[in-house]
Amino acid sequence: MNYITLNNGVEMPAVGYGVYQVSPDECVRCVEDALHAGYRLIDTAQSYDNEYEVGQGLRQSGVVRGDIFLTTKIWIANAGYEKAKASIDDSLRRLQTDYIDLMLIHQPFGDYYGTYRAMEEAYKAGKLRAIGVSNFFADRLIDLCHNVEVMPAVNQVETHVFHQQAELHAIMDKYSVVHESWGPFAEGRKDFFTHPVLQRIGAAHHKTAAQAALRFLLQKDIVVIPKSVHKDRMTQNLDIFDFSLSDSEMKELEGLDEKESLFFSHYDPKMVEWFYDMVKARKLRK
């Protein structure tokens, strides 16, 4: 496993296993499988409703907790200092751990400055080893960096060959924030796994299109958290450290960048309203 050093000196695996949309019924087994396959970064979130199962998977795997880098995220409904402070302790209980390696603000909505202050406090208390954000575009990331005591260590954003986030990556580099990709396979959109360029470049190295896509991001110093519920695919997604893409291959893959999200934009008013409608709907179900 390769590691990236965060701006506070903490080492973070360059490849992790994400549990977004992994059902609670499968999550314990999937986390165990991922850890046994060699993953040491597990990424979850309060809104995924599987933190408890992730904790169970960690405990049942037999892997030493100190060897695991555990990430979770504070949801919009828990924004603000008091709610975020309570939610950090709730996540610790659900994950059945004394500390979380990385906690992120999941979305740039609500009182995320209050949320960040709660994370800073938990960081100083040793409950969190690193803190950061997710889905923060350049304007909000820059503003945050100029108004906090503890600089964000990571920004997790949609990143894949079709949306490479080059401009945002440059901003993150400037502020020493590690770029982490969610959706490195674009959730299969645009015929991702059969894309001719990805397939051809992968085949040149006796690898799959998916492996070529992950290797591309790694060579851009981007942390990736691919998700699969199949152990053989988990193993395959981790098998990307024994080859390198050439400069010409990197340039060809850079040419696939469409510079637009395949999912949503936080600048879209309808999308922002959708997020808040989702928060309200979840409150009604409880």
Report the distance separating Cα 38 and Cα 23, nearest Å.
21
**Domain of residue 169, CATH code:** 3.20.20.100
Phi/psi class of residue 224: alpha, beta or left (left: φ > 0; alpha: ψ in -120 to 50)? beta
Strand partners, 42: 17, 70
Structurally, the chain folds into a number of domains equal to 1
The interaxial angle of helices 247-254 and 196-204, nearest 10 deg, is: 170
Place of tokens 């408890």: 52
Report the distance separating Cα 78 and Cα 45, nearest Å.
12
Q: What is the CA radius of gyration of the chain?
A: 18
Q: Note the pLDDT of residue 286.
A: 59
Q: Note the pLDDT of residue 282.
A: 80
Q: Note the pLDDT of residue 281.
A: 84
Query: Of residues 39, 48, 112, 116, which has the active-site annotation?
Result: 48
Give the range of the structural domain holding residue 222, as residue numbers without chain letter.
Answer: 3-285
In this structure, are strands 178-182 and 154-158 parallel, antiparallel, or unpaired?
A: parallel
Report the distance separating Cα 37 and Cα 33, nearest Å.
6
| Strand (E) or helix (H) holding 114 | helix 112-124
Report the distance separating Cα 180 and Cα 285, nearest Å.
32
Say whether 39 is catalytic.
Answer: no
The answer to whether 15 and 41 have CB atoms below 8 angstroms apart is: yes
Q: Note the pLDDT of residue 91.
A: 98
Q: Note the pLDDT of residue 256.
A: 98
pTM given for the model: 0.95
Report the distance separating Cα 281 and Cα 216, nearest Å.
38
Is 146 annotated to bind ligand? no
Report the distance separating Cα 51 and Cα 32, nearest Å.
14
pLDDT (tens place) for every residue of the chain, 286 residues total: 899 999 999 999 999 999 999 999 999 999 999 999 999 999 999 999 999 999 999 999 999 999 999 999 999 999 999 999 999 999 999 999 999 999 999 999 999 999 999 999 999 999 999 999 999 999 999 999 999 999 999 999 999 999 999 999 999 999 999 999 999 999 999 999 999 999 999 999 999 999 999 999 999 999 999 999 999 999 999 999 999 999 999 999 999 999 999 998 888 999 999 999 988 888 766 5
